[in-house]
Chains A and B, each alone.
Chain A
């Protein structure tokens, strides 16, 4: 029996107020900016959907979106299988479990701008450990500040280093939740290691894996701090991802209207992809 108690609303109210002030109100101001034009002095003029049209037609936006999709797609393709593989290789019992877990959690504990700064120094060709070894030790010409390929490889490796752990930990949680009886039954049924992975481990990891992919998609699609501290979007515009471009428009050029319109489009894309993915992944759940 469901009964409605009007007092329940009273308890939800503080949360609603909080969400309103930290999310809805700022979002509405962005909506407000996105349909207006300003020349400073706090004077605003109605602009309609002009900024939206402009952004959607802008080559600069297309290029940034392309780079963003390439980045997100690449890190997902690397981090998800790698995360699953590491989770499968981790011990499930014994004294090494806590050691592995702490080692895995370590990159996640480092503040994002520190990660960027660390990799920046790490890859400097003259004094950075990696940069020096690559250039002087192995004779590979590597300079992130001049070569777009080097910059791309670096931000991807950095993201893999920083975030694969999240996928590992989530998958590991899914794996340890599988009762021993499943493995025993599979042994008795004569299942190969591949069959055990395909029919026991993967299905049991599906829920956590969905969450992992979703989190990695959203985080990487909105990534700002690390690539900004590492490359600042360069060389040229080669690593200017959507969020970096957005900040350039909003705070660099102070084009509030186009920036607001771009934010909303950006937000809509993130939301749509997340929703689509989640719906597809959970549609045949019991």
Chain B
């Protein structure tokens, strides 16, 4: 187990990268706490798998260093880093039994048989595979195969980190939930650092203590699920997390006041800067139908069961609101009020208003 530090990490798949857009990873400085459960969240192609492969040693970064407990491992191959990785599609050794699959990483390292047997049985019990130890691995269902992939990482008690690269992609929805809670439970039991890569916000938010949100090869925000939801540091985070995502309204700033379509809006705190393209960000959860506020026309009403999402047009800007009470009809004229404590200013995408004082 180890604390993992990424030091000025950059990576490009091109032989001679010259400009920032040539880099799949732009410059990553990051520390992963020993025993933490992290999620790496971002859309496809944002560089999260690249980052994961650099940590595991399958890729060598163009620049920068990877440190495990302060020791430079940048040029070490995967098997010398003591890490484990679970891939998108379950990787199992078809011709082996479940037992042999789980024992494989230990036997390759010359662990003595008594210890192998003890570990395999212990992990199989944790994964609820103990009654299938002699089954051929190729005969299992996809979720059990994926459990074996995980198990091969878990059997080694010296692993520094276990990494999951979108491990639930091929699992049926109802089993996804089960496997995810299993994973969470395992993390609590064995307290090894886990890094979970996904583009699914639900997976990231339910699994991780800390979520790292990436976009275009950069880390946009690191925070607990609550922090990401409550106070996105970037409009991308606001938009990517939440369903529907944060409303982003173009606005003008003058004299320390932000206004949308000529109407002044109260923000969470003072404006810290307003040099770039300014926008207002507010989550649909904090937009209310009121007697006064932004005038808009209801375009769509979607009943999601627990709540109703009202999509309204203020000029040519879409504003979503989550409504619990009376629902307006399509085409109705409504007034929308934004909760000032949850209304923020963004300048060039990055947060530009000061946090509200409690």
Q: Which residues of A contact B (CB under 8 A)?
A: 179, 181-182, 184-185, 187-192, 195, 199-200, 203-204, 284, 286
CA distance A235 to B200 in the complex (A): 74
Contact A181 B87 (CB under 8 A): yes
Complex contact A199–B96 (CB within 8 A)? yes
Could you tell me the distance between the alpha carbons of A187 and B89 in the complex, rounded to whole angstroms?
16
Q: Is B189 an interface residue (CB 8 A)?
A: no
Q: A181-B87, A192-B108, A286-B139 are in contact. Are A187 and B58 (CB under 8 A)?
A: yes
Q: Contact: A187 with B93, CB < 8 Å? A: no
Is B77 in contact with chain A by the CB < 8 A criterion?
A: yes
Known: A188-B105, A203-B95, A286-B139. 13 other contacts (CB 8 A): A184-B85, A185-B85, A185-B149, A187-B78, A187-B79, A188-B56, A188-B78, A188-B84, A189-B108, A190-B108, A204-B94, A286-B136, A286-B138
Please state if A199 and B95 are interface contacts (CB–CB under 8 Å): yes
Among A179, A192, A199, the residue within 8 A (CB) of B93 is A199
Q: Chain A residues near B105: list those with CB within 8 A.
A: 188-190
Q: Is the CB of A187 within 8 A of B77?
A: yes
Q: How large is the interface on B (under 10, 10 to 19, 20 to 34, 35 or more residues)?
A: 20 to 34
Would you call B152 and A189 a contact (CB within 8 A)?
Answer: yes
A184, A189, A204: residue with the most chain B Cβ atoms closer than 10 Å: A189
User: Which residues of chain B are within 8 angstroms of A284 by Cβ–Cβ distance?
Assistant: 136
Residue pairs across A and B with CB atoms within 8 Å: the count is 54
15 cross-chain CB contacts under 8 A: A179-B89, A181-B89, A181-B91, A184-B78, A185-B85, A185-B149, A185-B152, A187-B78, A188-B83, A188-B105, A199-B93, A200-B93, A203-B93, A204-B94, A286-B138
Give the nearest-CB partner of B86 in chain A: A185
Residue of B nearest to A181 (CB): B87
Chain A residue numbers with a CB within 8 Å of B56 are 184, 188
Please tell me if B215 contacts chain A, counting CB pairs below 8 Å.
Answer: no
Q: Is B109 in the interface zone, CB < 8 Å from A?
A: yes
**Nearest chain B CB to A204's CB is how many angstroms away?**
8
- Which single member of B85, B88, B95, B136 contacts A188 (CB below 8 Å)? B85
Contact A190 B87 (CB under 8 A): no
Question: Does chain A have a CB within 8 A of B104?
Answer: yes
Residue in B closest to A184 when the chains form the complex, CB atoms: B58
Q: Which has the most chain B C-beta neighbours within 10 Å: A179, A185, A199, A286?
A: A185
Distance (whole angstroms) from the CB of B197 to the closest CB of chain A: 13
